[in-house]
């Protein structure tokens, strides 16, 4: 056979084999652990998962809530006071300006009463229940309670000041008298000591003044 023909056959055959191997799928055989070095230690892969902790913001405290309630109640009572001073009227015409406030005041007072237990809020609930029927638009139009509105305005003002802690109680006209025998006895003993400490001239002056006052009181009782 011609040498050139043999070379051509070999070359073409090589091309066919190469093309066939190129299109064949490649199979990867797993490594056999038996053939590996026993001194090599394999560490399994670990997956690190990053977690983000979301911290929820803290809610308002009870004290903050109560302060908010007080502020809202004060605003409603202030408006109620103003409308009552105006006779629940706008430009002389009866309106529902007084009617809406008692409902809000009662709701806020009941809610705050549950948080604090303060009896001032219980008193406020009772006041609104008494006030509400007299401050409706129909009641203002009937003028049945017109004379009561100024006093109700004063009550609204006092309630507002009680809630905000700014109401100053008026002092009693007369000082309280001792309520026990021991207290009265102590006062008498102190008075006797003061009289004994006076000079004879001072005692005589005191005696004359007491007699003058006694004669004056007797004279008034006889008139």
Domain boundaries, the chain: 63-164
Instruction: State yes or no: pLDDT of 124 exceeds 60.
Output: yes
Query: Residue 88: is its pLDDT beyond 60?
Result: yes
Q: Give the mean pLDDT of 74-87.
A: 93
pLDDT in tens, 90-120: 888 888 888 889 999 999 999 999 999 999 9
Cβ pair 96, 149 in contact under 8 A:
no
Check residues 78 and 7 and name the one with the higher pLDDT: 78
- Dihedral sign computed on CA atoms, order 147, 150, 153, 157: negative
pLDDT tens for residues 154-173? Answer: 999 999 999 888 544 555 55
pTM: 0.50
The highest-level CATH class for domain 63-164 is mainly alpha
| 55: pLDDT strictly greater than 70 | no
Taking 50 as the threshold, does the pLDDT of residue 134 lie above it? yes
Which pLDDT score, from 0 to 100, does residue 181 have?
Answer: 56
Report d(CA 192, CA 77) in Å as an integer. 55
Higher-scoring residue by pLDDT: 134, 179: 134
The span from the CA of 213 to the CA of 195, in Å, is 18
Smallest CA-to-CA distance from 86 within 159, 155, 153 is with 153
């Amino acid at each position: 056979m011609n040498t050139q023909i043999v070379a051509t056959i070999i070359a073409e055959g090589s091309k066919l084999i190469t093309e066939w191997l190129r299109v064949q799928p490649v199979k990867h055989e797993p490594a056999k652990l038996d053939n590996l070095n026993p001194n090599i230690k394999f560490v399994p892969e670990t997956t690190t998962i990053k977690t983000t902790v979301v911290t929820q913001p803290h809610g308002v405290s009870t004290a903050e809530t109560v302060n908010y309630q007080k502020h809202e109640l004060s605003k409603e009572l202030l408006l109620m006071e103003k409308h009552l001073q105006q006779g629940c009227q706008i430009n002389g015409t009866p309106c529902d300006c007084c009617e809406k406030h008692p409902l809000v005041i009662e709701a806020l007072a009941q809610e705050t009463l549950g948080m604090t237990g303060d009896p001032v809020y219980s008193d406020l609930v009772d006041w609104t229940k008494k006030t509400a029927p007299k401050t409706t638009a129909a009641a203002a139009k009937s003028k049945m309670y017109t004379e009561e509105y100024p006093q109700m305005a004063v009550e609204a003002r006092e309630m507002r000041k009680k809630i905000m802690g700014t109401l100053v109680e008026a002092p009693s006209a007369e000082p309280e008298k001792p309520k026990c025998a021991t207290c009265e006895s102590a006062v008498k003993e102190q008075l006797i000591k003061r009289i004994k400490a006076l000079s004879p001239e001072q005692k005589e002056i005191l005696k004359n003044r007491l007699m003058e006052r006694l004669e004056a009181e007797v004279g008034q009782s006889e008139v």
